[in-house]
Amino acid sequence: MTSTLDRPDLAVPAPKRPATRERLTWRQRLGRFDVKASPYAYISPFFVLFGLTGLFPLVYTLVVSVHEWELLQGQGEFVGLENFANVLQDRFFWNSIFNTLSIFLLSTVPQIAMALVIAAVLDQALKARTFWRMSVLLPYVVTPVAVALIFSSMFNEADGLANNLVGLLGIEPIQWKHDTLASHIAIATMVNWRWTGYNALILLAAMQAVPRDLHESAAIDGAGTARRFFSITIPSIRPTLIFVIITATIGGLQIFAEPKLFDVSSAGGIGGYDRQFQTTVLYLWEMAFFRQNFGEAAAIAWLLFLLIVGIGLINFFISKRIATAEGRVIKKRTAKRLATKEVGK
Amino acid sequence: MKLSRRTTAAAALAGAAAISLVATGCSSNSGGGDGETIELTITTFGTFGYEDLYTEYEEANPNIDIVANNIDTGGNARTDLFTKLGAGSGVSDIVAIEEGWLGAIMEVSDQFVDLTEHGIEERAGDWVDWKYEQATDPEGRVIGYGTDIGPEGLCYNGAAFEAAGLPTDRDEVAELFGGEDATWERYFELGQQYTDATGKAWYDHSGFVWNAMVNQLEEGYYTSDGELNVDGNAELRERFDQLAEATTNGQSAAQTAWDWNGGKSFVDGTFATFVCPGWMLGVVQGQLEAGGGGPDTGWDFADVFPGGAANWGGAFLSIPTSSEHPEEAAALADWLTQPEQQVKQSAAAGNFPSTLEAQEELAANPTPNEVFNDAPTGQILASRAEGVVAQYKGPDDSIIQENVFGPALQALDRGEADGDTAWQEALDLLVELEVE
Amino acid sequence: MTGITDARAFPLRPAKRKGGDAGNAGIGSKPGFLSYGILLAVLLGSAYPLWWSFVVGSGTNATRAETFPLIPGGNFFANASQVLGAIPFWQALGNSLIVSSIITVSVVTFSTLAGYAFAKLRFRGRDGLMIFVIATMAIPTQLGIIPLFIVMRELGWTGELGAVIVPTLVTAFGVFFMRQYLVDVIPDELIEAARVDGANQIRTFINVAIPAARPAMAILALFTFMMAWTDYLWPLIVLDPTNPTLQTALGQLQSGYYVDYSIVLAGAILSTIPLLILFIVAGRQLISGIMQGAVKG
């Protein structure tokens, strides 16, 4: 994402100073003040508000995390890194990390794969194009809470729609709310349902930016649809693809509403009786408001932050390498094709 | 650039927002416009049966407007209340507190109004003595009006009993289980017969049976002087093993509490018995309705309980010090817990009153409860209440029940653990959840 | 406040757009049976869960157990009125509109101001500050819930809508988004010309920047609104059931002692109707917004 910063900067050149250091008129001085001060005036509302609502909590979380701090009793003794040590030794914390990553993988991989296929299908001269695009996007208008209500009902173990359909295939009812893997699949299904179409549209936008010449020349070369999809479309939209993966990661690591509402009746809505689908954010909620331990909850918040930054960095470096390598390949290919086919610009 | 379309969308949003601002602006005005009307908020949980009483009170007191909120389970109500106490606002004027987590509330009892300032002392003799004592904190402040208590009887499914060749008449059933001398041993023995004969489960899930087994002990998870007493508690362990054996042998239906498959498990004969504190009768009724069943599903209520008299749950109405109308709130809570109202509440929700007068009333006037095969549930509960002793509830009692033994027993129910590993799991959880 | 910085809201990615949106053809210019078959399957997958909710929500609790119910029952209004009795639906709807609208206006306004300054004005510390803004985009909003909760308690704001609105009045993402858009879209000559005409900075902003920024502002507004509208965690913590947003009220619906799924699902449908109407009316704009956001940057 930061790569965009390197773009040529087209900022207004600084106003030239008057050649002679004469006394400026009142109006000129006001004008200079205007030029100098305005940028700060424009950015200051953002920074003031952001400092209060974004930065201050960040620092304060750190303060809370090194103290004994209870919901009702408030600030207690300074305990150093004890809260962090406790959390890191807590099997429920690691359980929540495992669940988060598992749900994240189960939602991201099929989601991106399906989004790619749908985008490729939409990237054609379709009849009723807008209708199909809208049908793909429809789930996006259903909020995660509503999605959770709908799907937790569908995934009811004894007689929900999912098990009824599974039953038609002659398969035993699946323990969607008790079994670890099944519950992860169910929650991933909610995420996938809501986001696949949305991501498909983003990928579609990227696909439409791929030069048509590439497809045409490949088609003339005799490359089939599937081959062109893998050798032209996918490489060309790779930056967008990686972006979609990164955003899905950030979103996926913060899942809360779906596991919170998937099975409210057991154990106070903390993600299953055995925490089998408790995500880290849900664990953070449990620690803070169910177990009322703000100190450890703050430590969880920081560890989650580090995890997201860590995965973000991994993503970034991988994507940067792939993007540059791919960029070179594409450029070469394009140049070659354009040269051989003598297709003018 | 198709500028116009996007701006249309933005304009649509802005327009909708403007309308909503106007709309809500109006409604909030009308709410607080009349200076004499006092709005009292009340938060209950489970099945309280208060709806008609609210209406009655509002009619008698036109200046009072009751805004009621009900939370599904006592456990969720606990989280809700503590979050709001932590937030320092948002606690209703009257809030229902469950006996199971009264211990935790007692640690912050100064956040609740001392009801002796509102004359509760004069009513001390109304309640069974232990109920009033439970609501008294170490400093002698009384922080709750007792609503109901939870004497336990045995719910059983007559149709299922008949199919298994067991007696169905409720007196015979009481006799079958041993009458006054009913034991858990006998209960599980009959359960094994039933399970072996029918291939079906005896009870819905181990957690509730366990609650009943623990709650009837003189001392439960804590000693009477407040010490945690689980690890190395031979009496608890013995009972746990009893339960574990029965569950391992297929007597548990491994149901999810408070869900029971949308009530259907109560209708389709998934299990044959169910431990029933008074307030649970309303829950069963609701489950039957949700599951599409009626009185014909065969549920009945017997005047017997394994292991003798037991109390599970019961609630109090408390007023947080943050209430802006403590006077009016106290008046309402006082009224709601008067014997007369408790009788009505019992009729609506099936729970059992905590005032002596109301109890006598129920005992003297047996009213058939049509959901339970016309059993005189009130009268039976009065009988079940005899000999109930209050058990000391520690600060984390409800946590131990729901989050320590809950998961351990679920694992047992689902065949993922045997008795030993489940017990060990509970002990581990006890440490890990930093229970005090 | 959570979710608002969810990067998904602003899928910007620089991509070189060539050729128009219309009449293009990707891998196969003539979509065949297979393509329409896939689309039909996707349509069913997208729409059936909603339709199923409506069918169950207009039926009884028993409808849920049917294998593949297709025909709605006649109880929708009865169930909907039960929803209205169980949760303060209209109040929650109003609250959600207020919260989402104020957040949207604030985020768009301040993002445009700051984005314009970062994109087009020269000032000391600009690049450093911009890198700072980008770096903070990775901060998960959940990180702040504990201190924010403590602060809201101190301020006595818990239970008030302000507690939901204030933490999200600005987002780093909004600034980044506007900056990326404006850096290319406003020619420097235009600003220079305005200056030569004697316009001061604020007039230049109003007369030059805002008209140019309008499309991006609309996109940012759309997604900020969606994010504020769908947020659940923070309102759940800081509001109470007597003054909920639509999402927290909806969450409560499932916590009835006996869950009647037909009522829960009627509530899910009822709560979706406002956005559904918006989607039908402005779906085309939403789609082009998402696709514009994806391409523009």
Contact A212 C201 (CB under 8 A): no
What pLDDT score was predicted for residue B1? 35
From first to last of the 436 residues of chain B, give the pLDDT tens digit.
333 443 444 444 444 444 443 333 333 333 334 457 999 999 998 888 899 999 999 999 999 999 888 887 888 888 889 888 888 778 899 999 999 899 999 988 999 999 999 999 999 999 999 999 999 999 999 999 999 999 999 999 999 999 999 999 999 999 999 999 999 999 999 999 999 999 999 999 999 999 999 999 999 999 988 899 999 999 999 999 999 999 999 999 999 888 888 788 999 999 999 999 998 998 899 889 878 887 889 999 999 999 999 999 899 999 999 999 999 999 999 999 999 999 999 998 888 999 999 999 999 988 899 999 999 999 999 999 998 888 888 888 888 988 899 999 999 999 999 999 999 999 999 998 877 6
3-state secondary structure of A76: strand
Q: Which residues of A touch B434 (CB under 8 A)?
A: 291, 293
CA distance C237 to chain A (A): 8
Query: B79 and chain C: CB distance < 8 Å anywhere?
Result: no
DSSP output for chain C? -TTTT-GGG---------S-STT---S-SS--HHHHHHHHHHHHHHHHHHHHHHHHHTS-GGGGGSSS--S--S-HHHHHHHHHHHS-HHHHHHHHHHHHHHHHHHHHHHHHHHHHHHHH---TTHHHHHHHHHHHTTS-GGGGHHHHHHHHHHHT-TTSHHHHHGGGS--HHHHHHHHHHHHHHS-HHHHHHHHHTT--HHHHIIIIIHHHHHHHHHHHHHHHHHHHHH--HHHHHHS-TTS--HHHHHHHHTTSSS--HHHHHHHHHHHHHHHHHHHHHHHHHHHHHHHHHHH--
DSSP assignment letter at A143: -
Contact A247 C6 (CB under 8 A): yes
Q: Which residues of B touch C289 (CB under 8 A)?
A: 6, 9
CA distance A340 to chain C (A): 21
User: Would you tell me the crossing angle of helices C261-295 and B3-33 to the nearest 10 degrees?
Assistant: 140
Searching chain B, which residue's CA lies closest to the CA of residue A291?
Answer: B433
Rounded Cα gap, residues B56 and B338, in angstroms: 14
Among A7, A27, A58, A138, the residue to mutate for chain C (most C Cβ within 10 A): A138
With tokens 């006598």, the residue in question is B360
CA distance C270 to chain B (A): 17
Query: B295 and chain A: CB distance < 8 Å anywhere?
Result: no
Domains and CATH numbers, chain B: 8-149+312-384 (3.40.190.10), 150-310+391-432 (3.40.190.10)
Q: Which residues of A touch C247 (CB under 8 A)?
A: 143-145, 257
Size of interface A-B (CB pairs under 8 A): 71
Q: Which residues of B touch A289 (CB under 8 A)?
A: 79, 82-83, 86
Q: Report whether B278 contacts B150 (CB < 8 A).
A: yes
CA distance C165 to chain B (A): 14
Rounded Cα gap, residues C190 and C182, in angstroms: 13
CA distance A278 to chain B (A): 14
What pLDDT score was predicted for residue A215? 78
Query: C26 and chain A: CB distance < 8 Å anywhere?
Result: yes
Tokens in use for B211?
């609650």
Q: Which residues of A touch B78 (CB under 8 A)?
A: 268
Query: B16 and chain C: CB distance < 8 Å anywhere?
Result: yes
Q: Which residues of B touch A178 (CB under 8 A)?
A: 414
Searching chain C, which residue's CA lies closest to the CA of residue B292?
Answer: C62
Q: Report whether A289 contacts C237 (CB < 8 A).
A: yes
Q: Strand pairing partners for B42?
A: B68, B94
Query: B71 and chain A: CB distance < 8 Å anywhere?
Result: no
| Segment A9-25, tens digit of pLDDT | 444 444 444 445 556 67
What pLDDT score was predicted for residue A111? 92
When the pLDDT of each residue in chain A is averaged and rounded to a whole number, the result is: 82
CA distance B232 to chain C (A): 36
CA–CA distances in Å: residue A72 to residues A244, A290, B45, B82, B320: 41, 12, 22, 8, 14
- For chain C, how far is it from start to end, CA to CA, in angstroms? 24
What pLDDT score was predicted for residue A270? 85
What pLDDT score was predicted for residue C256? 53
Size of interface A-C (CB pairs under 8 A): 384
Residue C87: Cβ-neighbour burial (10 angstroms; 0-12, 13-18, 19+): buried
DSSP assignment letter at A326: H
- Subunits next to A (3 or more Cβ pairs <8 Å) are B, C
Residue A150 in this model has a pLDDT that exceeds 90: yes
Q: Report whether A293 contacts A76 (CB < 8 A).
A: no
Contact B6 C214 (CB under 8 A): yes
Contact A156 B410 (CB under 8 A): no
Residue A324's pLDDT band, with cuts at 50, 70 and 90, is low
3-state secondary structure of A265: coil
Rounded Cα gap, residues B86 and A73, in angstroms: 8
Contact B87 C152 (CB under 8 A): yes
Neighbours of B434 (CB within 10 A): 12
Contact C264 A149 (CB under 8 A): yes
Three-state helix/strand/coil letters over chain B: CCHHHHHHHHHHHHHHHHHHHHHHHHHHHHHHHCCCCEEEEEEEECCCCCHHHHHHHHHHCCCEEEEEEEECCHHHHHHHHHHHHHHCCCCCCEEEEEHHHHHHHHCCHHHECCHHHHCHHHHHHHECHHHHHHCECCCCCECCEEEEEEEEEEEEEHHHHHHCCCCCCHHHHHHHCCHHHCCHHHHHHHHHHHHHHHCCEEECCHHHHHHHHHHCCCCCCECCCCCECCCCCHHHHHHHHHHHHHHHCCCECCCCCCCCCCCHHHHCCCEEEEEEEHHHHHHHHHHHHHCCCCHHHCEEEECCCCCCCCEEEEEEEECECCCCCHHHHHHHHHHHCCHHHHHHHHHHHCCEECEHHHHHHHHHCCCCEHHHCCECHHHHHHHHHCCCCCCCCCCCHHHHHHHHHHHHHHHHHCCCCCHHHHHHHHHHHHHHCCCC
CA distance B356 to chain C (A): 28
CA distance C59 to chain B (A): 13
Neighbours of B309 (CB within 10 A): 16
Q: Report whether A118 contacts A172 (CB < 8 A).
A: no
Q: Which residues of C touch A305 (CB under 8 A)?
A: 139-140, 143
Most distant CA atoms of chain B, gap in Å: 85
Q: Strand pairing partners for A78?
A: A67
- Subunits next to C (3 or more Cβ pairs <8 Å) are A, B
CA–CA distances in Å: residue B145 to residues A38, B29, C238: 63, 34, 28
Size of interface B-C (CB pairs under 8 A): 131
For the CA atoms of A67, A71, A74, A78, the dihedral, rounded to the nearest 10 degrees, stands at: -10
Contact C275 A289 (CB under 8 A): no
DSSP assignment letter at A124: S
- Name the B residues in 97-116 with CB < 8 Å from any A CB: 108
CA geometry: angle B173, B174, B177, nearest 5 deg: 85
Name which of A137, A144, A202 is nearest C286 (Cβ-Cβ). Answer: A137
Give the type of residue at A21: R
CATH code 1.40.20.10 for A84-340: no
Rounded Cα gap, residues A265 and A272, in angstroms: 9
Q: Strand pairing partners for B188?
A: none
Contact A39 C121 (CB under 8 A): yes
- ipTM topping 0.85: yes
DSSP assignment letter at A2: G
**Backbone φ and ψ of B180, nearest 5°:** -65, -25
Residue B389: Cβ-neighbour burial (10 angstroms; 0-12, 13-18, 19+): exposed
Rounded Cα gap, residues B323 and B108, in angstroms: 16
Name which of B6, B69, B286 is nearest C215 (Cβ-Cβ). Answer: B6
Contact C295 A154 (CB under 8 A): no
Q: Domain limits of chain A?
A: 26-65, 84-340
Contact C241 B69 (CB under 8 A): yes
Name which of C114, C140, C294 is nearest A202 (Cβ-Cβ). Answer: C294
Rounded Cα gap, residues B382 and B71, in angstroms: 27
With tokens 């099975």, the residue in question is A263
Contact B403 A92 (CB under 8 A): no
Closest-CA residue to B95 (of B386, B401, B339, B323): B323
Residue A326's pLDDT band, with cuts at 50, 70 and 90, is low
Q: Are strands B271-277 and B299-302 parallel, antiparallel or unpaired?
A: unpaired
Residues of chain C with confidence (pLDDT) below 50: 1-25, 27-28, 296-297
What pLDDT score was predicted for residue B402? 86
Neighbours of A57 (CB within 10 A): 25
Query: C199 and chain A: CB distance < 8 Å anywhere?
Result: no
Exposure of B341 in the CB half-sphere (CA atoms within 13 A): 22
Rounded Cα gap, residues C188 and C186, in angstroms: 6
Name which of A72, A177, A273 is nearest B407 (Cβ-Cβ). Answer: A273
What pLDDT score was predicted for residue B40? 93
CA–CA distances in Å: residue C3 to residues A251, B111, B218, B413, C223: 8, 34, 50, 38, 11
Contact C247 A240 (CB under 8 A): no
Q: Report whether B120 contacts B145 (CB < 8 A).
A: yes
